[in-house]
Amino acid sequence: MSGFHPAAHPDRLAWWATVTVAAAAVAVVSTTLLPFDEPFRAVANPLAVDALPGPLSVASVLGWVVTGLSVPVGAASLVVRFRRARGVERLQLQWLVLAAGVTVVAALVLVALLPTGNEVLLGWASAVCVAPPPRPSPPSAAASASRSTWTP
């Protein structure tokens, strides 16, 4: 197998995965424990901790920032792996790169549409960001007869 294998540095990989998951958990929990923002402030959040809005806000922002930083770190890791890969592994990574590219474009469109307030377009752009990529169709019978290495 060519390229960088995550098992070569299990400590770094495990550390970063643990930090990212913990940061996401802290962000979600601390956001849940904050009072509602406008226009929902009239409804009381039954889970809100009124004594800790400052520290919870800081924990929420810090958790979302660390979680957000994991995206460019993952992208950089994908670029390095793609550059080192050869053959079938490179072809497999091209599908992942295609899906990541579509997601990035959809996220940029989403950010550009935020000021417009168009909920229909925001919904479509959000759906594209989280939609799974299409699965490639199997090769035709003639093509698979010449290549016996393809498995569904």
Tens digit of pLDDT for each residue in 3-26? Answer: 555 555 656 766 777 788 888 888
Is there a single domain that holds both residue 50 and residue 110?
Answer: no
For residue 65, the enclosing domain spans 8-84
pLDDT for the residue numbered 1: 47
Question: Does residue 139 lie within any of the structural domains?
Answer: no
* Residue 147: band (very low, low, confident or very high) from pLDDT cuts 50, 70, 90: low
**What distance, in Å, lies between the first and last C-alpha atoms of the chain?**
20
Is there a single domain that holds both residue 69 and residue 99?
Answer: no
Is there a single domain that holds both residue 36 and residue 79?
Answer: yes
pLDDT for the residue numbered 136: 62
Domains contained in the chain, number: 2
